[in-house]
Amino acid sequence: MIGSLSVRERLLVKGIVEGQSVFDSALNAGYPISTAGSYPYTVLQKPEVKQNLEEMMEKAGIGTMTLFKVHADMLQATKPISAVVGKDASTSTMDFIEVPDWTARGSALNMGYKLKGLYADTSVTVNVESHEARMQRLTNKTIEAGSGE
């Protein structure tokens, strides 16, 4: 599959798998700075690039099943807090209790909902009509309704 990708696409995927941000991977792959913030996301939607990225992630040990396991663990995340004061534990804390880490769990839930496409579409279409156009439209409807009698 790797043969069907351009040199830039291969370098973009390689950088991402190595842990670079998409932006840094794009710059290192030779994409101009003016497009490095957005165009790589378009490139990553190409089926052959997606497949190559998935294959490289599997080889690097960060395949789908590994990600699922980490995600499941994150949904059960806990953190130690001081049992005496009820605040986050520090080096001087003597007694600890484990409590749910709601920040980590919330991030995991958010990620899961996004991956499954469970968030409602937040795009809104607004049609703006001038007062004059609305009055004309309503007047024409009134006239048409009256002429049918």
**pLDDT (tens digit per residue) in 80-130:** 887 776 567 677 667 778 999 999 989 888 888 876 777 777 777 777 888
54 and 68 housed in the same domain: no
Q: Is residue 135 part of a domain?
A: no
- Looking at the fold, whether 57 and 75 belong to one and the same domain comes out as no
pLDDT one-digit tens code per residue, 66-86: 888 888 999 999 998 877 765
DSSP state of 121: P
Q: 52 and 83: one domain?
A: no
pTM assigned to the model = 0.50
Report the distance separating Cα 44 and Cα 62, nearest Å. 17
In a domain, 145, yes or no: no
CA dihedral 112, 113, 114, 116 (to 10 degrees): 80
Residue 69 φ/ψ, nearest 5 degrees: -65, -45
Number of domains the chain is built from: 2
Total Cβ atoms within 10 A of residue 135: 11
